[in-house]
């Protein structure tokens, strides 16, 4: 395998990874939503988390089918915003003692990692010159 082939394979694994990670994150958020919605006072906030947490991957999928580089970047930025919003709601549920930190910390950590990955994708895509 040449270096170029290795880099392409590595890039494909990373690309695959973020799609799988955001899908798995959405699945975990759906399961958490089912627990949270039992409390009527929390249900509206849980719905906000559900929308944000599932929107990360769906917007990333839309980015992949973007009509232009600008469209791709725009959808990735929306995914990034959704990831940050998910992180906010998870922190709020801990701060307001809706759930114990130990229960949500893995999701918060994953949200942080997704934010980091998406930030890197947006930065790299924004810096890469357009192809003719």
pLDDT above 60 for 1: no
Residue 132: the pLDDT is 47
Is the model's pLDDT at 5 over the cut of 90? no
Section 23-52 average pLDDT:
97
Number of domains in the chain: 1
Residue 132 maps to a domain: no
**pLDDT top residue among 78 and 4:** 78
Q: What is the CATH number of the domain that holds 15?
A: 1.20.1440.60
Region 72-95: what's the mean pLDDT? 97
* pLDDT of 4 higher than 70: no
Domain that holds residue 111: 3-127
Mean pLDDT of the chain: 90
pLDDT at 75: 97
Whether 18 is in a domain gets the answer yes
From the list 50, 54, 36, the residue with the least C-alpha distance to 94 is: 36
Q: Is the dihedral of CA 101, 113, 46, 37 positive or negative?
A: negative
What is the band of 60 on the pLDDT scale with cuts at 50, 70, 90? very high
């Amino acid at each position: 395998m040449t270096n170029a082939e290795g880099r392409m394979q590595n890039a494909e694994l990373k690309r695959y990874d973020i799609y799988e990670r955001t899908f798995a994150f959405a699945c975990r958020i759906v399961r958490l939503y089912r627990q949270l919605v039992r409390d009527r006072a929390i249900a509206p906030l849980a719905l906000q988390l559900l929308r944000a947490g599932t929107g990360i991957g769906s917007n990333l999928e839309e980015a992949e089918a973007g009509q232009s580089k600008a469209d791709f970047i725009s959808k990735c930025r929306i995914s990034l915003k959704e990831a940050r919003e998910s992180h906010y709601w998870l922190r709020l549920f801990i701060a307001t003692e809706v759930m114990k930190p130990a229960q949500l910390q893995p999701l918060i950590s994953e949200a942080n990692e997704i934010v980091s990955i998406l930030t890197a994708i947006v930065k790299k895509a924004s810096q890469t010159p357009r192809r003719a």
